[in-house]
Amino acid sequence: MTDSPSLPTVRLRPKAEARAIRHGFPWVYADELVTDRRTQGLVPGSIARLEDAERRPLGIVTVNPKSKIIARMLDRDEGAVIDRAWLGARIGRALALRARLYDAPYYRLVHAEADGLPGVIIDRFGDAAVIQPNAAWAEAMIGDLAAALAEVTGVTTIIKNGTGRARGLEGLAEETAVLAGGLDGPVPVSMNGAVYMADLMGGQKTGLFFDQRDNHAFAARLAKGARMLDVFSHVGGFALASLAGGAESALSVDASAAALELAGAGAEAAGFGARFATRKGDAFAVMEALQAEGASFDLVVCDPPAFAPAKPALEAGLRAYERVARLAAPLVAPGGYLGLCSCSHAADLTQFRNASARGIGRGGRRGQLLHTGFAGPDHPQLPQLAESGYLKALFFRLDG
């Protein structure tokens, strides 16, 4: 909790672009802030007032001297008090949007900066929720955050998933913990006519990727009567949706035996078990092996991890996306469909599309780009922050 009158003040450097902050950009980088001894001495996650170089107020920020993103905007009202009630109001606003969008309480409830809670991810699974406190201030206020979440939504089980690259950049340790309630096992989630088994304690991220929901639905439209291949499938995302859409068969490929086991459980739960198969292994190696075996599929979708999570990895990441497309394209039957996805912040849509097209060409194929998909509306974008629009999905129809 913060006591507004006693907040410290931090100030932009004279050459820092205050206009961007005033127009909605939510971050201040370390080289943009005056980092005197007092500012450097602030505890990571401290709440402070932000001023421009002329001492004009810009709002209330959270400060982490250990991070390249040294300040994150919390509230543009300099009189705001960042406490449990403030957190509850932000969560309530996020909940109102999701309740309008979805009939069942399974969605991303809070999407970080875009929902006014920088560095905070909350995914909801019915009566359970998973919080990812990826910024120091959220870690410091995790008790108030969990309490506000329970008060506003009524969830009874709350998991803290403190893992991932973002926490390392904030200087935070990895930790997964039960903050309230408990779980007996994976949580079944119904989406697009399929059932997904979400491991909220041990799965990737929060246990399920809600962001692909609309892209799963588009793939399902292409899947009727198809032999389908889902590469980097996690818990069966595109495969299970395709089976719900009428696919003749679906094969899920992933390096994680645990993820494939959950995919199989989801297929059985939805009555698709007889049409579903899995293959464990490195995705690149499996695609090469399938080509050597002469395998052919009417619909192939590849949804790899972020190959370019930051700018230093961009070139290598684009080469990896090109390689995915090159290996996947020969597996598509004449007139079939290829879906390629990227969740890389650093690779924009044009770069990803170009890498995918090069890969398809190098795989000896040509095609039409049918559809470009993004994350669903429970993952809103902050227009001033390109990183909030990370997910891209391209669907091609390939020639003979």
Alpha-carbon distance of 354 to 375, in angstroms, equals 20
Q: Are strands 69-75 and 106-111 parallel, antiparallel or unpaired?
A: unpaired
Contacts of 99 (CB under 8 A, 6+ apart): none
The DSSP code sequence of 256-298 is: -HHHHHHHHHHHHHTT-GGGEEEEES-HHHHHHHHHHTT--EE
Q: In the chain, what are the domain boundaries?
A: 4-75, 84-180, 195-398
Cβ atoms of 378 and 191 within 8 Å: the answer is no
pLDDT of the residue at 172: 95
Distance set, CA 28 to CA 25, 63, 64, 70, 380 (Å): 8, 9, 10, 6, 21
pLDDT tens-digit readout, 335-355:
999 999 999 999 999 999 999
Whole-number Å distance between alpha carbons of 396 and 366: 9
pTM for the structure as a whole: 0.94
Place of tokens 């870690």: 139
User: In the 8-state DSSP scheme, what is residue 33?
Assistant: B
- The confidence score (pLDDT) of residue 386 equals 84
**What is the rounded CA–CA span in Å between residue 313 and residue 301?**
23
What single-letter amino acid sits at 256? S
Look up residue 341 and give its two tokens.
């996805």
pLDDT single digits (tens) 305-320: 999 988 999 999 999 9
Q: Phi and psi at residue 93, in whole multiples of 5°?
A: -65, -40
Point out which residues pair with 324 in neighbouring strands. Answer: none
Contacting residues for 200 by C-beta, under 8 A, at least 6 apart: 125, 128, 130, 159, 161, 183, 186, 187, 206, 207
Residue owning tokens 């007032």 = 49
| pLDDT attached to residue 2 | 47
343 belongs to the catalytic site: yes
Neighbouring CB atoms inside 10 A of 110's CB total 26
Q: Which positions of the chain have pLDDT values less than 70? A: 1-5, 400
pLDDT of residue 5: 55
Which of these is catalytic: 42, 61, 122, 343? 343
| 368 CB-contact burial (10 Å; exposed 0-12 / middle 13-18 / buried 19+) | exposed
Q: Domain 4-75 belongs to what topology?
A: 2.30.130
Output the CA angle 353-359-361, nearest 5 degrees.
105
How far apart, in Å, are the Cα atoms of 81 and each of 4, 43, 84, 259? 5, 18, 9, 42
Superfamily covering domain 84-180: RNA methyltransferase domain (HRMD) like (3.30.750.80)
Q: Which of 6, 123, 7 is nearest to 62 (CA)?
A: 7
Angle subtended at Cα 116 by Cα 112 and Cα 120, rounded to the nearest 5 degrees: 30
Task: Report yes or no: 91 and 49 within 8 Å, Cβ to Cβ.
Answer: no
SS3 of residue 65 by DSSP = coil
- Token pair recorded at residue 355: 């890498």
Residue 112 neighbours by CB under 8 Å, 6+ apart:
118, 119, 120, 121, 134, 388
Instruction: Please give the C-alpha separations between residue 186 and each of 126, 205, 259, in angstroms, as whole numbers.
Output: 12, 14, 11
Tokens of 130: 């998973």
Spatial distance between the Cα atoms of 29 and 263, rounded to a whole number of angstroms? 41
Q: Return the bridge partners of 367, or none.
A: 398
How far apart CA 49 and CA 72 sit, in angstroms, is 11
Rounded CA-CA distance 247/224 in Å is 5
- CATH number for the region 195-398 comes to 3.40.50.150
**What is the reported pLDDT for 70?**
97
Beta-strand pair 157-162/175-180? antiparallel
Alpha-carbon distance values, 137 to 67, 76, 175 (Å):
12, 17, 16
Do the Cβ atoms of 189 and 203 come closer than 8 Å?
no
